[in-house]
Amino acid sequence: MRNRPKLCLILPIYDEGVWGHSQHIYRLVERLGLSVDIFLIFETGRGRVNIGNCAKIITQKFRRKPWSQAELLLILLRARLSGYRFFFSYFSVRPALYSKLITFLFHGTTYLFHCAEFKKKDLTDTFFKKSRLCWVLRHIDWLVTTTPLMARHYVQEFGVDRRKIKLVPYWVDTQQFERQSKSNARKKLGIDSGTKLILFVHQLSKSKGAHHLPRIAQLVAEEVSNTVFLVVGGPSTANDVSHILKKNVLEKGLANVIRLEGKVPNKDIQTYFAAADLFIMPSDEEGFGIVLLEAMASGVPFVATDGGGPVMDVVSPVQRRFVVPAGDMVSFSQKIIQLLSSEEERKLLIEDGRRHVQRYSLDEALATFRREIILNP
């Protein structure tokens, strides 16, 4: 126990009912804690933290500045004085900045995990936040991102030294998405057995292509009868189109074709995948496409856009036949119609997806994380 590596890990939020992909990082932390001493910090949280195998878990008490900032700085200093030399911030820039200050003064190594497809000139935040992000990306000891294309993005847009970038692809706990009975899942959701169910799971933002859904639904419903688009997701903090989507669904008479579910906790999302015949991801911009991994693990074929490029790093050669350029919703809809009309092609994609997703399993992620972060700091 005394010789185990020590890692201070900072996560934005703890909430078992949270919307998004937090469950995946929770599971990785729990497994990683079997071989690493983890000092786990949550910037905010709801309820008692149910993550095992951590040496220490702290959820910040203060929410307002400057008290939350001072509290975080003191917690990070406490971790460093307790022997933790490696600090890993998952997406949050401020903890990475404070960790860099601590490790500069008291020695150590700081990592920031970040994966977002945007350009510096397009950031829609305050000048201070833009400057902080740009500074951290350039001066952090290591930037950790998910694919070679994302690494090139940070080099080209933010001037990050490629030699200071490590790659740790996203992952899914494939056991979480083991196939449920389709009939039971549909019964839970009130979906008829004869319905051709097309699933969308994402924030209702322009970047995730939510504004394309009415057009896609119209094109598909004209060619394939008895189709329902099940839309899981809520308003986005940036480029939100949830109100526009609801308005278009009503104005275009699509209330019987598009069913808006709202946000669903990630721990419950497998029921929706189990019920689906097809998954779609019409994103205009995409940093990785973790929802595609969830679809593969669930045994659901998909149609996706390339999200501006990064998605092509993730999918298999077979799956690329059903990935179209971002914004081309005519081709996107045609691919949906093609798959709904061919059970043989759907089976091929299901088998291929289940094989391919093993590259992104929790076991593979743990091996990569240990190699890149723990054993090779």
Crossing angle of helices 329-340/213-223, nearest 10°? 40
Looking at domain 6-171+361-374, what is its CATH homologous superfamily?
Answer: Glycogen Phosphorylase B; (3.40.50.2000)
User: Distance of CA 184 to CAs 67, 99, 219, 229, 271, Å?
Assistant: 49, 47, 29, 19, 9
Q: Do domains 6-171+361-374 and 176-360 have the same CATH topology?
A: yes
The values of phi and psi at residue 195, to 5°, are -75, 135
**pLDDT for residue 127 is more than 70:** no
More confident residue, 134 or 214: 214
pLDDT value at position 117?
61
Q: Which residue has the tokens 């878990």?
A: 57
The values of phi and psi at residue 184, to 5°, are -65, -40
**pLDDT for residue 123 is more than 60:** no
233: pLDDT confidence band, cut at 50, 70 and 90? very high
**pLDDT for residue 300 is more than 90:** yes
**pLDDT for residue 90 is more than 80:** yes
pLDDT value at position 126?
54
More confident residue, 235 or 141: 141
Query: How many whole angstroms separate alpha carbon 263 and alpha carbon 21?
Result: 12
Options 3.30.1450.10, 3.40.50.450, 3.40.50.2000, 3.40.30.10; CATH of 176-360: 3.40.50.2000
Nearby residues of 376 by Cβ (< 8 Å), 6 or more positions away: none
More confident residue, 120 or 144: 144
Question: Using an 8 Å Cβ cutoff, are 233 and 119 in contact?
Answer: no
Segment 16-52, tens digit of pLDDT: 776 677 888 999 999 999 999 999 999 999 888 999 9
12 preceded by cis ω (within 30°)? no
List 172's β-bridge partners, or say none: 361
Query: How many whole angstroms separate alpha carbon 7 and alpha carbon 229?
Result: 43
Query: How many whole angstroms separate alpha carbon 183 and alpha carbon 29?
Result: 34
Task: Look over the chain and give the mean of its residue pLDDT values, rounded to a whole number.
Answer: 91
366: pLDDT confidence band, cut at 50, 70 and 90? very high
pLDDT value at position 29?
96
So where are the chain's domains? 6-171+361-374, 176-360
HSE of 97, CA atoms in CB hemisphere, 13 A: 14
How many CB atoms are closer than 10 A to CB 29?
Answer: 21
261: pLDDT confidence band, cut at 50, 70 and 90? very high
Q: Which residues of 128-154 are buried (b: 16+ CB within 10 A; e: fewer)?
A: eeeebbbebbeebbbbbbbbebbbbbb
| Coil/strand/helix, residue 170 | coil
pLDDT value at position 286?
85
Of 29, 47, 50, residue with least CA distance to 38: 29
Segment 164-203, tens digit of pLDDT: 999 999 999 888 887 689 999 999 999 999 999 999 999 9
Mean pLDDT lowest for which of 49-58, 176-185, 343-352? Answer: 176-185
pLDDT value at position 18?
67
Of 149, 139, 94, 140, residue with least CA distance to 116: 149
Token code pair at residue 70? 């001072």
Q: Which residue has the tokens 């030399």?
A: 85
Q: What is the mean pLDDT of residues 95-113?
A: 96
Q: What is the mean pLDDT of residues 202-209?
A: 93
